[in-house]
Amino acid sequence: MSKIFRATNIVLALLCLMYFITYVDRTNISAAAGPIKEQFGLTNTQMGLAFSAFAYPYLLCQVFGGLISDKWGARRTLVVCGVVWAGATVLTGLSMGLVSLFAARLLLGLGEGATFPAATAAMQKWVPVEKRGFAQGITHSFSRLGNALTPPVVAALTVTFSWRGSFVIIGVVSMIWIVLWGLYFRDDPRDHKGVTAQELAELPLPKAKRTAPIPWKMLVRRMWPVTLTYFCYGWTLWLYLTWVPLFFKTSYKMDIQKSAIFASGVFFAGVVGDTLGGVLSDMLLRRTGNLRLSRLILIVGGFIGALLSLLPILYFRDLTTVALCLSAGFFFAELVVGPMWSVPMDIAPEHSGTAAGLMNIGSAGAAIVSPVVGGYLIDLTGNWYLPFLVSMCIMGIGAACAFGMPLKVPVKAAA
């Protein structure tokens, strides 16, 4: 029992909870999109614009957030971020039209912009090297659990309290995590009273507390193929997160609660994919000792598997078939996540927060473009399947880009 409640496990559990909460706060708008569209009289393109608002500051904050977390620590960074994103969630429920809705989502993106780079910086110090894939996989699986539970939870809250009430309640609940993190976490495991000597021996601790200069030119050169690969993954992710609930509601004439159940089924497949991708990548690393092989097999295999899984929806319209194909596609896409988020720690162990921020620019950029393009294509053609065809092409590009990632020698600190 004492091993279960080790400090390293509790820190990982807190990070899992953070990933869960942040994705609930990100995707609650898509779960409530039906009543929001009706109340504000929005088109699909306008709704896609509201979906994408989150991503503008989110993208801009990636590198800055990584820098801040590397310099000031994940503890302070995530407390400040948490206050902002929780407040933005409450303000979303108070919006009065497209402009105020867009503004609230901008603020949410500002608050969440540094969260994943800061979490990666925390894992760099709190997770053994051979468990990085698992740690990134399990934390991101909790984000997908947030995706899966958000549609039915928001639907139930909307029916009971209205869509506005659902945002206010979720924002207030988010504040609890901020308090827990601030009280428990320490940036250096050696400063934590609950850490055992055995845990410290397993962790990749620096020999001295210092902030190494960042070798920007080398870091950017090594990370840009990773960023491009992650953009291709992010395109599919944000297509799913923003349009899948409305896809079921509109294409199959479902009410908000029934469409939420189908959307949840799709997102639950991602929970399994995230966890399995990290576990398998770590297992391959232990058995082969080949870092590049252990990451690429899961990343390339995930892209190709997702592409092939979605192909049948171009030819079949049966609800069960389409739901299963969407679920399989999301499962394979999420196999990519654990290995991908291990890559910044593999490439730049001394600057993992900054490197993670550079990588996540890809997903943030996709979050800007993918929802708007999806909404525009639907408005233009009336075809809810066309955005998935675009996503299949981009996943094929992602599989090819993955081979360009420099998974060999880590970036060293500047002299």
8 A C-beta contact, residue 388 and residue 382: no
Query: Per the domain annotation, does 2 fall within a domain?
Result: no
pLDDT reported for residue 410: 54
Percent residues over pLDDT 90 in the chain = 30
8 A C-beta contact, residue 110 and residue 81: no
Percent residues over pLDDT 70 in the chain = 95
More confident: 235 or 155: 235
Query: Per the domain annotation, does 207 fall within a domain?
Result: no
Give me the mean pLDDT over the 38-43 stretch: 88
Query: Per the domain annotation, does 100 fall within a domain?
Result: yes
- Asked if the model's pLDDT at residue 412 lies above 90, the reply is no
More confident: 213 or 184: 184
Cα separation, 202 vs 218, whole angstroms: 29
More confident: 59 or 414: 59
Which CATH number do you get for residue 278? 1.20.1250.20
E strands, 108-237, where? none
Confidence of residue 254 (pLDDT cuts 50, 70, 90): confident
pLDDT reported for residue 415: 37
- Asked if the model's pLDDT at residue 208 lies above 60, the reply is no
Give me the mean pLDDT over the 95-116 stretch: 89
| Cα atoms found within 13 Å of the Cα of residue 404, Cβ hemisphere only | 15
Query: Per the domain annotation, does 196 fall within a domain?
Result: no
Query: Per the domain annotation, does 407 fall within a domain?
Result: no
* Number of separate domains in the chain: 1
Cα separation, 153 vs 261, whole angstroms: 10
pLDDT reported for residue 335: 93
Cα separation, 72 vs 91, whole angstroms: 28
Q: Which domain holds residue 141?
A: 7-187+214-402
pLDDT reported for residue 24: 86
Angle between helices 132-184 and 74-93 in degrees, nearest 10: 80
pLDDT reported for residue 6: 86
More confident: 104 or 241: 104
Query: Per the domain annotation, does 410 fall within a domain?
Result: no
Query: Per the domain annotation, does 237 fall within a domain?
Result: yes
Cα separation, 86 vs 77, whole angstroms: 14
- Asked if the model's pLDDT at residue 4 lies above 90, the reply is no
Query: Per the domain annotation, does 203 fall within a domain?
Result: no
- Asked if the model's pLDDT at residue 64 lies above 80, the reply is no
Lowest-pLDDT choice from 38-47, 105-114, 208-217, 299-308: 208-217
- Asked if the model's pLDDT at residue 311 lies above 60, the reply is yes
Helix, coil or strand: residue 96: coil
pLDDT reported for residue 413: 45
Give me the mean pLDDT over the 325-334 stretch: 95
Lowest-pLDDT choice from 54-63, 319-328, 363-372: 54-63
Helix, coil or strand: residue 271: helix
